[in-house]
Amino acid sequence: SLQVRFVKRPTGEPTADTFEIGEAELPALGDGEILVRIIWLSLDPYMRGRMDDKRSYAQPQALGAVMQGGTVGQVVESRNPKFAEGDFVLGMFGWQSHAVSDGAMVRKLDPAVAPLSTWVGVMGMPGLTAYIGLLDVGEMKAGDTVAVSAASGAVGSVVGQLARIKGAKKVVGIAGAEEKCRFVVDELGFDACVSHRSASLRDDLKAACPDGIDIYFENVGGPTLDAALSLMNPFGRIPVCGMISMYNTGPSTEGPDRLPSLMRRVLTDRLKIQGFIVSDRAAQHQKAFIEEVGGYIRDGRIKYREFVTEGLENAPRAFAGLLRGENFGKQLVKVSDD
């Protein structure tokens, strides 16, 4: 099996020496075990957080171990009665070409329901994150103006399209590159999209949201959060899903303390700012999400874009690129053919 192992905690961006790529001998299958050939590896921003040895909602990634990650694969050998050779499965098999598993926490996939790759994307964890963050945490209702950052990405693209389906007054994206902004408006049907790279970000966002923002779906933090916060309407909600702009650098401690003015704003405008982790609420929403969003995907009301890197050996570079915005759509690694 080819493996990507985590060997050095990065300071700043992950680099080539963060990882070690090498072959490993697979153990013989024990009773109840399956051998899985990995087809799709999902690269996700949370992986950067796990590289730090800090207290968080999950344990840090262990040094010397195979990088953790969500994958879709195919069973090539089974000594577990629940799985047959040829079954397609979803599991946390990590950055490797093959994995041996006891089958716990492994879900069988029906390739007729949706393309295999979507189970780690729009039909999987990122799609569910959008669903929970917008509807449950964000308590979205028809008539809301919804703004979302990282708008062309795996989570953001679903947030905006769902908001439109649910009757938002206005859906506004925030993205980096101009072509991402164009895609979000022309292909995904957002009303507007502004660039976080523009010096006039706040004015641009204000022009796009003349009646203020009711929900700001937070994916990036930094100046984008500042701009959105200044436009929040009374009783506005900010589901805090991610803060990717600081994953490599950590939070900035420079400058004057603006916490008191933030808290005053929270009080006077009765804002609800709530962090959430998809796994906390997944069980509760999973079934409705698959039914509802699966339907929207089949009838074309939700579109998705994938950004495929070929070959496991290119995963480290693709992952560093994800944290820089080099991906355009859900970042996947094609490990083998489906």
CA 173, CA 217: separation in Å to the nearest integer?
A: 10
Identity of the residue, 61 or 219, whose beta carbon is nearer to ligand NDP in the bound complex: 219
As a whole number of Å, the end-to-end CA separation of the chain is: 17
Identity of the residue, 83 or 131, whose beta carbon is nearer to ligand NDP in the bound complex: 131
CB of 311 to ligand NDP, least distance (A): 20
Residues 37 and 76 sit within 8 Å (Cβ to Cβ): yes
Contacts of 153 (CB under 8 A, 6+ apart): 126, 219, 327, 329, 330
- Strands annotated E in 225-289: 232-240, 272-275
CB of 163 to ligand NDP, least distance (A): 15
Q: Which residue from 127, 156, 236, 316 is in contact with ligand NDP, where contact means CB under 6 A?
A: 156
Identity of the residue, 75 or 184, whose beta carbon is nearer to ligand NDP in the bound complex: 184
Number of residues counted as binding ligand NDP (CB under 6 A): 32
CA 265, CA 231: separation in Å to the nearest integer?
A: 11
Residues 306 and 330 sit within 8 Å (Cβ to Cβ): yes
CA 125, CA 278: separation in Å to the nearest integer?
A: 7
The helix-helix angle for 201-208 and 222-229 (nearest 10°) equals: 40
Here's the x/- map for ligand NDP, 45-64, by CB under 6 A: it reads as: xx------------------
CB of 83 to ligand NDP, least distance (A): 27
Q: Which residue from 39, 41, 148, 154 is in contact with ligand NDP, where contact means CB under 6 A?
A: 154
Beta-bridged to residue 333, according to DSSP, are: 41, 309
Q: Residue 91 in 3-state DSSP?
A: strand
Question: Which residue from 9, 12, 10, 54 is spatially nearest to 249, judged by alpha carbons?
Answer: 12
Question: In the block, which residue shows the tokens 């909600």?
Answer: 237
Q: Which residue from 61, 68, 96, 327 is in contact with ligand NDP, where contact means CB under 6 A?
A: 327
Residue 315 binds to ligand NDP (criterion: CB under 6 A): no
What is the phi/psi pair of residue 208, to 5°?
A: -80, -25
Here's the x/- map for ligand NDP, 64-103, by CB under 6 A: it reads as: ----------------------------------------
Identity of the residue, 75 or 188, whose beta carbon is nearer to ligand NDP in the bound complex: 188
99-138 residues in contact with ligand NDP (CB under 6 A) are: 126, 129
Identity of the residue, 1 or 198, whose beta carbon is nearer to ligand NDP in the bound complex: 198
User: Where does this chain bind ligand NDP (CB under 6 A)?
Assistant: 44-46, 126, 129, 150, 152-156, 175-177, 180, 196, 219-220, 222, 224, 241-242, 244-245, 276-278, 322-323, 325, 327, 330
